[in-house]
A and B are shown apart, each in its own frame.
Chain A
């Protein structure tokens, strides 16, 4: 019985650790029925497919291993929306004070970009990427066990534009 309780508790903790933040979910659900937005959800099962692939180089193997530890990806994006900055501000206001640490801010042309992370037990459990411009808005949540060192390489495999900026992170942040 004691073992069962401990197992149940461990399962609960592991689910809670890798669950997606309420702040993102709230925003995502608010605009879920809005046809102006593109929505993408990738489940942990999809990421687990990467474990079946054998990387040819040690670098490939590291990236594939990092991808297989991801538990989910959600994207809410619009590339021809009126006042993308309004959504950017609203999304950022929703995240503020919910335990996310700002990692990096980038100004790419007219677009503003923010990367934020949430840590649990010394490990990054969620990465948010927020982009806002005149007509553009992107909000991405990647959750699971996240290895920042592999993120920029991973973004190529996942085809998520913008995440290449993570390679600019200094070494100390990468070691987190």
Chain B
């Protein structure tokens, strides 16, 4: 099955693959209407600051990124139907769906914009229980560096901690599951031993 932390990383790296694209007309109104409770704007310099391990591959990958925007909108400020139309509006702007995912994390749509087979931009729309997240990136990146990082792993400080939390919980759950299975096996063995004695 898909490993979720890796998907998050994939999503992050995929978002770093735009070139020469200005902000989407479908997303612009969400900024203009001041709906957000959390609004992040990364310049290349601030993106490089995320690379706490100073991995040269990361800096190489983002060297042509112009900016990365993250917008979080609380659900009470925007109707679900309206948020879902953003995807249709992006499709009208010739964005193509790359990945869609529905899990307990929420619903994620990743869309890319192309011109002559050259990627021009990417947008991720995330629908969570309490909020909507819109991530868009303007600029360009080197996909082979993203692959290198995705395969080798990278220390992105707080982002890693945030992404790793779920992994730790899963590992803990798996550990307890194993213990339960061992106890059950032991009980079964004891039962069959008792039956033999009887």
Contacts and interface: CB of A to CB of B under 8 A. Distances in A.
Interface of A: 35, 37-43, 45-46, 49, 52-54, 75, 77, 79, 131, 138, 140, 156-157, 159-162
B96 interface: yes
B55 to A, nearest CB: 17
Contact of B143 (A37, A40, A53, A140): A53
Given A52-B143, A53-B147, A159 B99 contact: no
B103 A38 contact: yes
19 contacts: A38-B2, A40-B103, A41-B99, A42-B98, A45-B97, A45-B112, A46-B99, A46-B110, A49-B17, A49-B119, A53-B143, A54-B144, A75-B2, A77-B2, A138-B1, A159-B2, A159-B7, A160-B2, A161-B3
Nearest to B144: A53
A42 B114 CA distance: 17
A45 B143 contact: no
Contacts of A138: 1
Contacts of A43: 96-99
Nearest to A38: B103
A71 B180 CA distance: 41
Contact of B1 (A42, A45, A53, A160): A160
A38 B98 contact: no
Nearest to A78: B1
Nearest to B101: A40
Pick from A39, A46, A131, A138 the residue with the most CB of B within 10 Å. A46
B9 to A, nearest CB: 9
Interface in B140-197: 143-144, 147, 151
Given A42-B99, A49-B17, A53-B147, A159 B119 contact: no
Nearest to A129: B1
Contacts of A77: 1-2
Nearest to A34: B102
B198 interface: no
Nearest to A56: B144
Nearest to B148: A56
A157 B110 CA distance: 18
Contacts of B99: 40-43, 46
A39 B96 CA distance: 19
Nearest to A50: B143
Given A38-B104, A40-B2, A46-B112, 19 more contacts: A38-B101, A39-B102, A40-B99, A42-B99, A43-B97, A43-B98, A43-B99, A45-B96, A45-B97, A45-B114, A49-B14, A49-B119, A52-B143, A53-B147, A79-B1, A138-B1, A140-B1, A159-B10, A160-B1
Contacts of B144: 53-54
Nearest to A32: B102
Nearest to A64: B147
A31 B189 CA distance: 38
Contacts of B104: 35, 38
B39 interface: no
Interface string B118-150: 010000000000000000000000011001000
A37 B104 CA distance: 8
